[in-house]
Amino acid sequence: MNLSIVKLSPDYEFAPFDCNDKDLNEFLLTDAKPYQDQLLSTSYILEDNNSLVGFFCVSNDRLCQEDTNKWRKIKECVPYPKRRNSYPALRIGRLAIDHKYQGAGYGKKILDYIKIYFLENSPAGCRFLLVDAYLQSVGFYDKNGFDELPTDKPSNKTKLMYYDLHDIRKLMRFKRFF
């Protein structure tokens, strides 16, 4: 197995891809390049040799008080003198694995990559990861450390979830000493 993550480029040629979700397939094959060209999101491809295993796209965002009716929980994550009405975040806009590779841990690998890569290489401050998780994917994000952010306007298709990057930063510091 020779896994690599590459940033989508304008001349990238897609290998066959089908994650069994028409909207996600269509985004990757039709919309990902124009979104990137218009600076709306950046997409990354998970490859194994010449096979397209999965993809994800990210964009800048913020987590603010209006996003949730549980703002106190978010505020308690940050020391008192540093508390604000909003915090910088990275939104995972799309994440999908080709049906041939689903259930083999590639989604977790992508989330681990996002957590570490954007913590260590982000050119700007970024405290949280956000995702509007499809209802059928809530358990997956929950198992990967994301928490639900209840809202006053619940959706019947997605749930807003967040991950505090400070949690993994603490873990990385701990591991460096042992």
Domain CATH number, residue 160: 3.40.630.30
* Torsion of the alpha carbons at 9, 52, 19 and 57, rounded to the nearest 10: -30
What pLDDT, on the 0 to 100 scale, is given for residue 92?
97
Residues of the chain with pLDDT under 50: 174, 176-178
What pLDDT, on the 0 to 100 scale, is given for residue 152?
74
d(CA 84, CA 22): 39
What pLDDT, on the 0 to 100 scale, is given for residue 153?
77
**At CA 127, angle to CA 80 and CA 106, rounded to 5?**
145
What's the number of domains the chain is made of?
1
| Global pTM value | 0.87
What pLDDT, on the 0 to 100 scale, is given for residue 46?
97
What pLDDT, on the 0 to 100 scale, is given for residue 176?
46
Closest by CA to 115, choosing from 65, 66, 166, 80, is 166
Question: Residue 37 carries which side chain, given as an amino acid letter?
Answer: D
What pLDDT, on the 0 to 100 scale, is given for residue 177?
40
Contacts 24+ apart (CB under 8 A), 100-107: 101/48, 101/53, 101/54, 102/19, 102/20, 106/46, 106/53, 106/54, 107/54, 107/140, 107/144
What pLDDT, on the 0 to 100 scale, is given for residue 112?
93
What pLDDT, on the 0 to 100 scale, is given for residue 178?
37
Q: Domain residues for 146?
A: 3-177
Pair 89, 127: CB distance under 8 Å: yes
What pLDDT, on the 0 to 100 scale, is given for residue 125?
81
d(CA 102, CA 70): 33
